[in-house]
């Protein structure tokens, strides 16, 4: 083969095709294979980086959500504590009010039944 190319004509389905073959040395072949390998690795790295970026984005979303939930949880705990304090105060006030009021007596004890007789006349 002559450098840089030799043209070879092929017939396929009645059409003539002209094909150019580049002459390459064995070291050039290794170089091209190495370039192909590097291109393949580069594509894999780009895919991995895109995947890592997406994972980092989801991680940040989850972290933001956790922070919001912590704030909400703190607010709910404070509201619950406040409600328990108010309930305790209401309960104490109710007990104190019951202690200061005179106890009502049972109506049955107060009334004594006196037997009455009916007269027919």
pTM exceeding 0.75: no
Beta carbons of 55 and 48 less than 8 angstroms apart: no
Q: What per-residue confidence (pLDDT) applies to 82? A: 96
Q: Determine, yes or no, domain membership for 10.
A: no
Q: Determine, yes or no, domain membership for 17.
A: no
User: 9 in helix, strand or coil?
Assistant: strand
Domain tally, the chain: 1
Per-residue pLDDT of the chain (121 residues; tens, 9 = 90+): 444 444 455 555 555 555 455 555 667 778 888 889 999 999 999 999 999 999 999 999 999 999 999 999 999 999 999 999 999 999 888 888 888 776 666 656 555 556 666 666 5
Q: What are phi and psi of 60, to 5 degrees?
A: -65, -40
Widest distance between CA atoms in the chain:
156
* Parent domain of 69: 26-97
Beta carbons of 23 and 8 less than 8 angstroms apart: no
User: 17 in helix, strand or coil?
Assistant: strand
Q: What per-residue confidence (pLDDT) applies to 101? A: 74
Q: Determine, yes or no, domain membership for 54.
A: yes
Q: What per-residue confidence (pLDDT) applies to 3? A: 46
- Residue 70: Cβ-neighbour burial (10 angstroms; 0-12, 13-18, 19+): exposed
- The DSSP secondary-structure symbol of 3 reads S
Q: What per-residue confidence (pLDDT) applies to 43? A: 96
- Which residue's structure tokens are 């291109």? 39
């Amino acid at each position: 083969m002559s450098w840089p190319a030799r043209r070879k004509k092929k017939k396929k389905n009645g059409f003539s095709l002209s094909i150019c073959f580049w002459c390459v040395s064995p070291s050039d072949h290794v170089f091209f294979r190495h370039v192909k390998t590097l291109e393949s690795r580069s594509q894999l790295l780009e895919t991995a980086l895109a995947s890592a970026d997406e994972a980092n984005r989801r991680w940040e979303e989850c972290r933001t959500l956790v922070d919001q939930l912590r704030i909400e949880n703190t607010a709910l705990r404070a509201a619950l504590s406040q409600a328990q304090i108010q309930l305790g105060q209401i309960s104490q006030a109710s007990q104190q009010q019951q202690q200061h009021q005179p106890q009502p007596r049972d109506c049955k004890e107060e009334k004594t039944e006196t037997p009455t007789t009916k007269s027919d006349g």
